[in-house]
C-alpha cells in the first residue's frame, strides 16, 4: 500500500490504449507433463499500455505532471477504462440491482462488479469472478434492498468503495448496488518522451497497473 492521488489519468489527450486482465495463478508442471494449478487470489488485475502523442505544453500539464506528483511508480491514481466503467454490462447506466454485495449484519458493504455470463448477479463464485470497487463515482451509486431502491440512510465512501446503510438491513435481506467506477492504478514504467516535431511529443507506451489494495 502507498499514497493515493484522488485524480484521474487524462483520457482526453490524443492517445491509444490497450488493456488486459490477469489472474494470479501458480502453475507447477510435473515431469510427466501434468499441471497443478493454484489460484492465489480470485480478483482480476488490469494492466494498461497507453500511447500518448500530444503537444509539448499539454504533455507537461497533463501527463508528466501526474507522473511527477505520483513520484513515478510510488503513488496511485484513478484510471477510467472506456470499455469497463459501470456495473451494468460494462458501459450501460448503472441500476440498483446490478451486483449483489454479500451478507452483513452491520449495514456495511463493499461495492463490487461481477463478471461472467451472470443471469441474476446474486451468486459470484467459480465462473463468476468479481472486482472490488475501491473508487466509485459517488453521485452514480444506487442501492436497493430486496430490489427496492434505497432513498435514505445511505452513506458512500468514494475513497474506499464502502457503503453504509442505516438502519442496517437484516442479514437475510438481499442488498444490491450499481455505480460507475474508476480503477486505482499506478505507473509501472518510466515515461520516455520522444520529440517528433518542435511542439509535438510522443511518449511511446506508458504502463499502468491496477492496485488491489490502494
Mean pLDDT calculated for residue range 182-199: 89
Question: C-alpha cell of 212?
Answer: 488491489
Confidence (pTM): 0.88
Q: Which pLDDT does position 117 carry in this prediction?
A: 62
Give yes or no for residue 153 having a pLDDT over 60: yes
pLDDT of residue 8: 93
pLDDT band for position 180 (50/70/90)? Answer: very high
Phi, psi of 171 (to 5 degrees): -65, -20
What pLDDT, in 10s, does the model give residues 54-103? 777 777 778 889 999 999 999 999 999 989 999 999 999 999 999 999 88
Mean per-residue pLDDT, 26-33: 89
How far apart are the C-alpha atoms of 91 and 99, rounded to whole Å?
Answer: 14
Predicted confidence at residue 12, as pLDDT, reads 63
**Per-residue pLDDT at 10 exceeds 90:** no
What pLDDT score was predicted for residue 123?
A: 56
How high does pLDDT run on average in the chain?
Answer: 88
Cα–chain-centroid distance for residue 126? 20
What is the three-class DSSP state of 157? strand
89 CB contacts (<8 Å, ≥6 apart)?
none
pLDDT in tens, 102-150: 889 899 999 999 887 655 545 555 667 889 999 999 999 999 999 999 9
| Percentage of the residues of the chain whose pLDDT score is greater than 90 | 61
List, in order, residues 6 or more apart from 180 with CB less than 8 Å away: 85, 86, 94, 136, 137, 140
Buried b vs exposed e over 149-176: b needs ≥16 C-beta within 10 Å? Answer: ebeeeeebebeebbbebeebbeeeeebb
Sign of CA dihedral 128, 26, 110, 184: negative
Give the highest mean pLDDT range of 18-32, 108-122, 191-205: 18-32
3 state DSSP class of 114 = strand
What local confidence, expressed as pLDDT, does residue 199 receive?
A: 79
In terms of Cα–Cα distance, which of 99, 178, 168 is closest to 136?
Answer: 178
What pLDDT is recorded for position 60? 78
Amino acid at each position: 500500500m502507498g499514497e493515493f492521488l484522488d485524480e484521474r489519468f487524462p483520457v482526453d489527450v490524443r492517445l491509444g490504449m490497450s488493456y488486459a486482465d490477469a489472474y494470479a495463478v501458480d502453475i507447477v508442471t510435473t515431469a510427466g507433463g501434468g499441471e497443478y494449478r493454484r489460484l492465489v487470489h480470485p480478483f482480476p488485475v488490469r494492466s494498461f499500455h497507453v500511447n500518448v502523442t500530444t503537444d509539448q505544453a499539454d504533455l507537461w500539464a497533463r501527463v508528466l505532471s501526474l507522473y511527477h506528483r505520483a513520484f513515478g511508480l510510488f503513488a496511485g491514481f484513478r484510471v477510467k477504462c472506456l470499455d469497463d466503467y459501470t456495473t451494468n454490462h460494462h458501459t450501460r447506466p448503472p441500476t440498483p440491482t446490478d451486483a449483489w454485495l454479500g451478507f452483513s449484519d452491520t449495514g456495511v458493504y463493499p461495492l463490487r462488479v461481477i463478471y461472467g455470463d451472470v443471469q441474476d448477479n446474486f451468486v459470484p463464485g467459480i465462473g463468476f469472478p468479481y472486482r472490488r470497487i475501491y473508487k466509485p463515482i459517488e453521485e452514480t451509486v444506487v442501492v436497493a434492498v430486496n430490489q427496492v431502491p434505497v432513498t435514505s440512510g445511505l452513506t458512500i465512501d468514494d475513497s474506499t468503495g464502502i457503503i453504509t446503510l442505516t438502519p442496517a438491513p437484516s442479514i437475510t435481506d438481499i442488498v444490491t448496488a450499481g455505480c460507475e467506477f474508476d480503477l486505482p492504478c499506478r505507473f509501472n514504467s518510466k515515461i520516455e518522451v520522444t520529440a517528433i516535431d518542435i511542439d509535438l511529443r510522443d511518449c511511446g507506451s506508458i504502463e499502468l497497473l491496477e492496485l488491489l489494495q490502494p
